[in-house]
Amino acid sequence: MSSSTQLLTSILDANETYAEAFARSDPALLQKLAKGQSPRIFWLGCSDSRVSAELATGVAPGSIFVHRNIAQCFHPGDLSASAALAYAVHVLKVEAIIVCGHTGCGGVRAGMQAAVESKQREDKGEKVEPPKPGSVEDTIAKWIAPIKSLASTQLPSCSSDPLEALELAHLTDSHVRDTVKAVADSDLVRAAWDEGRDLSVHGWVYHVGTAKLRDLDCGWKGVGVRADSLSRPSTYAESEPRE
């Protein structure tokens, strides 16, 4: 039996245990979920395996409608994210949208690294050759391009080591704020506000080292109308290593 087969078999075995425990502990919820879903929250999060929306928030299954991609991006023309947002807002009628980043994000780190390398080559007068279309490098470069652009605006004008000067945590916060604004400015969300819907968009960061969520106080509940602050100073992960 191959390693992957053993892994998947163990997961199916664990599911048997989970299903039996679920049926015993809350059969009513299981029956309710079988009839449909009525989540009140749409979660746009990162694909990172360490960050689970349900576990981080402690809610029951059926409470959050989730869309995940690398570095919780909302790109113009991204049909997958747009379709998920459209369904959440206009079919499920969610009340809140959460854009959730996290510490130690590989996608944000890749964007930061790309910005640093581009600046270093530019300073040396080196020509940067684009990656081969369709390659792994090309696919990743296209996805993280907005993060790279954001990182480029935060690079210091003079530094012997710009990567040291640019904190990953700071860039992560900035990227979440930008994504919140992009979602809030989307036609899909504005259409809901035009209908008078009670819908808010918020930006959170999950601290992997402490399992705590932090509100960035960058939310919106209407065109030009800021959402209520949910910031809690006690949730800042002071013990988590700086990045």
Packing angle of the helix pair 106-124, 136-154 (nearest 10 deg)? 80
Task: Give the catalytic positions in this structure.
Answer: 46, 48, 50, 102, 105
Closest of 210, 214, 206 to residue 235, by C-alpha: 214
- Binding site annotation covers 73? no
DSSP E strands in the chain: the ranges are: 41-46, 64-69, 96-102, 200-207, 212-215, 220-222, 225-226
Q: 112: which 2 tokens?
A: 């930061």
- Binding site annotation covers 102? yes
CB-based contacts of 12, cutoff 8 Å, min separation 6 = none
Closest of 176, 233, 234 to residue 205, by C-alpha: 176
- Binding site annotation covers 46? yes
If DSSP codes are grouped into helix, strand and coil, which group holds residue 17? helix
Contact assessment for residue 101 and residue 72, using Cβ atoms and an 8 Å cutoff: yes
Residue type, 45: G
DSSP 176-242: HHHHHHHHHTSHHHHHHHHTT---EEEEEEEETTTTEEEE-S--EEETTEEPPP---GGGS-TTSPP
Residue type, 169: A
* Binding residue ranges: 46, 48, 102, 105
- Binding site feature residues for Zn(2+): 46, 48, 102, 105
